[in-house]
Chains A and B, each alone.
Chain A
Amino acid sequence: MKGFTALLIRDMRLAFRAGGGASLAAAFFALVSSLVPFGVGADLVLLGRIAGGVLWVSAALAALLSLDRLFQSDFEDGSLDVLALSPLSLEAASAAKILAHWVTTGLPLVVLSPVLGLLLNLPPRAYGALIASLAIGTPALSGVGAIGAALTLSIRRGGLILALIVLPLITPALIFGAGAVADSLDGSGRGAFLFLAAFSVAAVALSPFASAAGVRLNVGG
């Protein structure tokens, strides 16, 4: 447990130090979603209608941004060997890294989302759904993303391949996340939100094992 906490704190520290991805992801999220009105025009009704989807797509892209270094930097500087030889299992190490990624990347997106919702004229009744869906859904982005990051950790410029692997896999989160916000606008039940929660639970539960397998494959290759 001490090792788990140590790795969690180390990764969170690294994310906030120079070159870490924490503030970068939040800034990217804000930038992409505020670019959309420039593209689709200042039709307030339309913007309010698509705000949920826009914010969810931006969040997915922002979360992806810092994922490629999740295991790769540890692989390059030898930290992954250190972890592999430590008493902490690679599954637990992956879980710590996924949690650290979510706290430093996903959580800031959740906190930032109401401000950007305001910017996109999201109707007031949908804020609850927006925040809740991002809070429930972003751990899935970190989890599924970690699997891709583990698989591509030894590939130079693996970030592009990572995006190709991860984006199709997180489509369910995108559909149900944006769906949950749309449901709250129409007042049509919580079906999408529950599906999002189910997807997120499954992704978070499975991802440490899948990521650890990916790391093992690369370290022993």
Chain B
Amino acid sequence: MAILSLVQVENLTCERAGRRVFRNLSFAVASGQVMTLEGPNGAGKSSALRILAGLLPQATGEVRLQMSAGYAVTDSDERARLTGWMGHTDGVKAQLTVEENALFFADIYGSRINVAGVLDHVGLKRLAGIPAQYLSAGQRRRLGLARLILSDRPLWLLDEPLSSLDAAGRRVAAELIGDHCDDGGIAIVATHETLGLDATRFFLGPQ
């Protein structure tokens, strides 16, 4: 995992379908920190995360990922390669088994992490052989968490990671985020709920 020392967002403005979602968004998150992105529906939390991940082009402004090696990354394609992503959807193929999904994630991200161990960690070991279409929403979310671990990226961008998760699942998610940041990673989490972690909070207000 490449080591990231700082995520710096400066004067970010987002427009979607010709409508301004937010403007002049600026913040910085340092290595080891969790930041929660809060705000009402439609404030642009998901859009902000997509811009940070390099999936969505910003109207103006800059996202800089300062690496500990001394150089900085601003290009959206390069940012994408440093991002561990959990969106609204989990990227799970319903027709494939849980294990096939996880193995695919490991292969596509070139991960060396043990897949069976990760499935055990997120509590899906027992379900490894069944097609993902039979998973509940919370179990799908857990498979999304497995992907996050397998992607082995320094910057985690999570959109409502706790949705559909039960109490045990929430604990697993919070632990994972905590461990990730203890290892020097950075997590930016859009959420309406408390993570139970020591996090800086950032409010995204309506324009």
Residues in chain A within 8 A of chain B (CB atoms): 2-3, 5-7, 10, 13-14, 17-20, 76-79, 81-88, 219-220
Chain B residue numbers with a CB within 8 Å of A14 are 93, 95-96
Chain A residues near B96 (CB-CB < 8 A): 10, 13-14, 17
| Beta-carbon contact of A13 and B108 below 8 Å | no
Residues of A contacting B80 in the complex (Cβ-Cβ under 8 angstroms)? 84-85
Contact of A77 with B57 at beta-carbon distance under 8 Å, contacts A3-B107, A6-B107, A85-B85 already known: no
Q: Are B91 and A82 in contact (CB under 8 A)?
A: yes
A-B contact pairs, 29 of them (CB 8 A): A2-B110, A6-B107, A7-B104, A10-B93, A10-B96, A10-B100, A10-B104, A13-B96, A14-B95, A14-B96, A19-B95, A76-B89, A77-B92, A77-B94, A78-B87, A78-B88, A78-B89, A79-B92, A79-B93, A81-B87, A82-B85, A82-B91, A82-B105, A82-B147, A84-B55, A85-B80, A86-B108, A87-B109, A219-B56
A16 CB, nearest partner CB in chain B, Å: 9
7 new A-B contacts at CB < 8 Å, known A6-B108, A76-B89, A84-B55:
A14-B93, A18-B95, A20-B95, A82-B108, A88-B108, A220-B55, A220-B56
Q: List 5 tightest A-B contacts by C-beta distance, closest first.
A: A78-B89, A6-B107, A82-B91, A78-B91, A17-B95
Q: Pick from A13, A18, A79 the residue with the most CB of B within 10 Å.
A: A79
CB pair A3–B108 under 8 Å, yes or no, is yes
Chain A residues lying within 8 Å of B100, measured Cβ to Cβ, are 10, 13
Contact A86-B109, Cβ < 8 Å, known A78-B91, A81-B55, A219-B55: yes
B83 touching A85 by the CB < 8 A rule? yes
Interface flag for B53 (CB, 8 Å) = yes
B32 to chain A, nearest CB (A): 22
Q: Which residues of B contact A6 (CB under 8 A)?
A: 103-104, 107-108
- State in angstroms the CA–CA spacing of A85 and B147 once bound together: 12
Tell me if B171 is interfacial: C-beta within 8 Å of chain A.
no
Q: How far is the CB of B20 from chain A (nearest CB, A)?
A: 16
Inter-chain CA distance A87–B95, complex, in Å, is 24
Which residues of the other chain, B, contact A83 by a CB distance below 8 angstroms?
A: 108
What is the chain B residue whose CB lies nearest that of A83? B108
Q: Which residues of A contact B56 (CB under 8 A)?
A: 219-220
For the complex, is B160 an interface residue (Cβ under 8 Å from A)? Answer: no
CA distance A14 to B93 in the complex (A): 9
Q: Bound complex: CA of A135 vs CA of B126, how far in Å?
A: 44
CA A187 – CA B91 in complex, angstroms? 53
Is B192 on the interface with A (CB-CB < 8 A)? Answer: no
Q: Determine the distance from Cα of A10 to Cα of B107 in the docked complex, in whole angstroms.
A: 11
Report how far A165 CA is from B206 CA in the complex, Å.
Answer: 40
- Checking B53, B89, B108 against A77 with a beta-carbon cut-off of 8 angstroms, the contacting residue is B89
- Judged by a CB distance under 8 angstroms, whether B90 is at the interface is yes
Residues of chain A lying within 8 A (CB to CB) of residue B201: none
* List of A residues within 8 angstroms of B107 by Cβ: 2-3, 5-6
Alpha-carbon separation in the docked complex, A85 to B94 (Å): 20
Interface string of B71-89 (1 = CB under 8 A from A): 0000000001101010111
CB distance from A49 to the nearest CB of B (A): 43
Instruction: Give the distance to chain A from B101, nearest Cβ to Cβ, in Å.
Output: 9
Determine the chain A residues whose CB is within 8 A of the CB of B89 once the complex forms: 76-78, 81
- Of chain A, the residue at the smallest CB distance from B16 is A221
Closest to A90 in B: B77
